[in-house]
Amino acid sequence: MGVDRRQGLVETLIRLRVSEHPDSTWLKFKDQRITWGQTLSNCQRFANGLVELGVTPSDALGVICSNRPEFLWAHFGAGFIGATSIPINTSQRGNALEHIFNDAKVRWVVGEWNILEQLGSEIASCPHLDGIVAIDTPKYPTLKETRIVTFESLMCAQDSEPQVEVLSSPPAAGMLYTSGTTGPPKGVVSTKADPGGLLEILNALEVAAGETMYCALPLFHGNALLISTLGSMVLDAQLGLSERFSASHFFDELKLYEAVEFNALGAIVSILMSRPPSSKDRDHQVRTVLSAGCPDHLWRDFEKRFGVKLVEFYGMVDAPGLLLNRDSVVGSMGKPVGGSEFALQSPNGNILGPGKIGELVFRTPLGKSTSYHNNQKATEEAWRDGWFHTGDLAETNSDGYYFFRGRMKESIRRRGENISPWEIESVVSTHPNVIECAAHAVPSPLGEDEVKLCVVLREPRSTSQQEIYDHCVGKMANYCLPRFIEVVEELPKTSTLKISYKDLRSRPLTDDTWDHDKEGTG
């Protein structure tokens, strides 16, 4: 007699595809072709390996790994036994990473050795951690006083359905941490699931069963994990997985994997368009590109140059509201799908009509369907008055299409990442010669933002901007590292003596502003 084990959506889909065609390919990675049957086997073996380590459904597993099959076996395997997978940005470091480990009470961390060996202080600061599961472990590992288990050893566990009681279905994305706009990262807990909106987005891609979706975005993000990975399972499609986005190899991989679709952020569109025209531009089978934040001025040229249809959408990890632009209305995020109701609110909560800019808010038939882990205050603030408040500014036209108009608070959007100034300032402020500091966004020529840091020094001439930059390296995610650093006498303040980020953003770059891309050596 088997145990009571509630299967999540991912496991249900994998077992369904195995029952239909176990020898058909699901995952393409470099020269590997991994079938549905092998996928189930890998997930089961890793899951049973976790059980042998003593991992239970109440535990959290941190996954800090680049794009590779092992990420998927770890993430899915945790779900097979009801444990919570915590996908973590591979660049995350310092205070923010320590917060994630401790807030989620991570018990084991899975990742590549070249990443894990850099996390000595963060691992040491996590009292709940039993050890690490290392991929590509060297013969003589260097982490001291840390239990190290190899990934390969876990994969030697039994290839069978785990005999673990799982009483609630694990969410497909596990628990993703989002930087949001202020404070430390917040873990998003999904309490209710309705795949209606996701299905509408997937249908708009027009990918047939057996065709290939290409993923070059990182698996630790909801876009790659839910739309590309889960989406390929829902559509019974194949998934062509890239290690990372590389403009020079992008079209070679599209051709290698015979992909018919890929997802892009606005910066990817800009980067691809900035490259010289090539015979490879149309030497592929891609028909559809799912985009988030395509620059208006590049939209039509991108479609024409690469011979694709661009489908724009808006979504966030924090809550399930989705916008979809099926009709190629240039610059628009689209209209609500999946039963979502969107609106724009003024600062006093009034609903705004077309042509007015306000905060983008939404609600769904599910009601309050997410929360922030261990953060009731942030949850209540986000879900106030029955609406989820995105913190983004938008505008609608008379036809009901939504257009992005910026971010309300100080969040910085760089290379597809949301960065809280706190992540940077909490590190810079530990420098002995820094009295005060503020990080803020400046426009990037590629779209999105670059990071500028303003610092007030105790002894202005005793510390260079390069030294400030070097102090940041290794203590925060690479995408947080400031490109621009300016030493100032004081920071502008509001009447309540808070730093005025608005005033900082309005200041132009000067000859005294250090630019890492031109002068840096770090």
Mean pLDDT of all residues belonging to the chain? 92
Domain assignments of the chain as residue spans, ordered by start: 9-170, 196-407, 412-519
Instruction: Say if CB 65 and CB 90 are below 8 A apart.
Output: yes
Q: Do domains 9-170 and 196-407 have the same CATH topology?
A: yes
Query: pLDDT class for 522, splitting at 50, 70, 90?
Result: low
Residues 2-22 have pLDDT tens digits of: 688 899 999 999 999 999 999
The torsion angles phi and psi of 287, rounded to 5 degrees, stand at -110, -35
Structure-block tokens of residue 436: 């005060």
Write the DSSP string, 346-404: -TTSPBP-TT--EEEEEE-TT-S-EEETT-HHHHHHHTGGGSEEEEEEEEE-TT--EEE
pLDDT of residue 498: 72
CA atoms in the 13 A half-sphere facing the CB of 522: 19
* pTM of the predicted protein model: 0.86
- Tens-digit pLDDT profile for residues 256-278: 999 999 999 888 898 898 889 99
Which pLDDT does position 2 carry in this prediction?
67
Q: How far is residue 428's CA from residue 60's CA, in Å, rounded to a whole number?
A: 30
Domain 9-170, CATH number (from 3.40.50.150, 3.40.50.880, 3.40.50.300, 3.40.50.980) = 3.40.50.980
Secondary structure class of 259 (helix, strand, coil): strand
Q: Note the pLDDT of residue 180.
A: 56
Which CATH class name applies to 196-407?
Answer: alpha beta
| Nearest partner of 388 among 439, 308, 322, judged by Cα | 322
Which one-letter DSSP state was computed for residue 194? -
pLDDT at residue 1, as a whole number: 47
The pLDDT-based confidence of 60 (bands split at 50, 70, 90) is: very high
Residue 140: per-residue pLDDT? 66
Using a 10 angstrom Cβ sphere, with 0-12 exposed, 13-18 middle and 19 or more buried, the burial of residue 496 is: exposed
Express each pLDDT in 479-519 by its tens digit.
999 999 999 998 898 645 578 888 899 898 988 899 999 88
Structure token digits, residue 430: 């530990």
Average pLDDT over residues 366-373: 93
Residue scoring higher pLDDT (408 or 87): 87
Contact 442, 484 (CB under 8 A): yes
Contact 310, 335 (CB under 8 A): no
The DSSP secondary-structure symbol of 240 reads E
CATH class of 412-519: alpha beta
| Confidence at 193, pLDDT banded by 50, 70, 90 | confident
Choose the weakest-confidence range: 70-79, 97-106, 137-146, 410-419: 137-146
Lowest mean pLDDT among 215-219, 364-368, 387-391: 364-368
